[in-house]
């Protein structure tokens, strides 16, 4: 004799409760009603890691690669607002160190896409720093 699937019982109960809630109008005034869902693009994450990344994201945790990218963006923003030359040099050294560390961890060069906004900002900051030291070309 085949055993009953315990998940079918749970599925039946869940479907029943959803139908009851719909009949009571619980879902009628939800925020975003009538607008398309805003789905996250997880295509860059391997399929077997997507659920784990989503759980970490919902908990406010970032994977190391994204945390590092966030820190790099923060350093570039600091360079934008930095008026003190010594502080700017320190921030650029920290930025250079983080890029080298990422390269070593990946054992390859950190490649920035040319359409990445960070790429343009980084080039602008580095060329501005070089121009300040050497003078305009």
What value does the mean pLDDT take over residues 93-105? 77
End-to-end CA distance of the chain, in Å? 86
129: closest CA among 74, 89, 75, 83?
89
Distance CA 74, CA 68 (A): 10
Tokens of 95: 């930025």
- Over the range 28-45, which residues count as b (16 or more CB within 10 Å of their CB) and which as e? eeeeeeeeeeeeeeeeee
Whether the CB-CB separation of 86 and 97 falls below 8 Å is answered with no
pTM of the model: 0.38
- Spatial CB neighbours of 70, under 8 Å, sequence gap ≥ 6: 62
Whether the CB-CB separation of 94 and 75 falls below 8 Å is answered with yes
Q: Which region among 16-25, 104-113, 116-125 has the lowest average model confidence (pLDDT)? A: 104-113
Percent of the chain past pLDDT 70, that is, above it, reads 75
Binned at pLDDT 50, 70 and 90, residue 118 comes out as low
Tell me the pLDDT tens digit for each residue of 29-55.
Answer: 888 888 888 877 777 778 888 888 888
Judged against a pLDDT cut of 90, whether residue 19 lies above it is answered with yes
pLDDT of amino acid 1: 46
CA distances from 16 to 8, 21, 23, 26 (A): 12, 9, 11, 14
Binned at pLDDT 50, 70 and 90, residue 14 comes out as very high
């Amino acid at each position: 004799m085949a055993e009953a699937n315990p998940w079918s019982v749970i599925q039946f109960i869940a479907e029943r409760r959803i139908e009851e809630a719909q009949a009571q109008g619980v879902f009628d005034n939800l925020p975003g009603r009538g607008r398309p869902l805003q789905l996250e693009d997880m295509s860059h994450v391997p399929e077997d890691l997507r659920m784990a990344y989503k759980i970490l994201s919902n908990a406010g945790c970032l994977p190391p690669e994204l945390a590092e990218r966030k820190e790099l963006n923060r350093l570039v923003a600091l360079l934008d607002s930095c008026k003190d030359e010594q502080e700017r040099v320190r921030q650029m050294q920290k930025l250079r160190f983080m890029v080298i560390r990422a390269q070593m961890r990946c054992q390859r060069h950190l490649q920035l896409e040319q359409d990445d906004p960070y790429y343009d900002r980084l080039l602008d900051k580095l060329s501005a720093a070089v121009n300040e030291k050497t003078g305009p070309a």
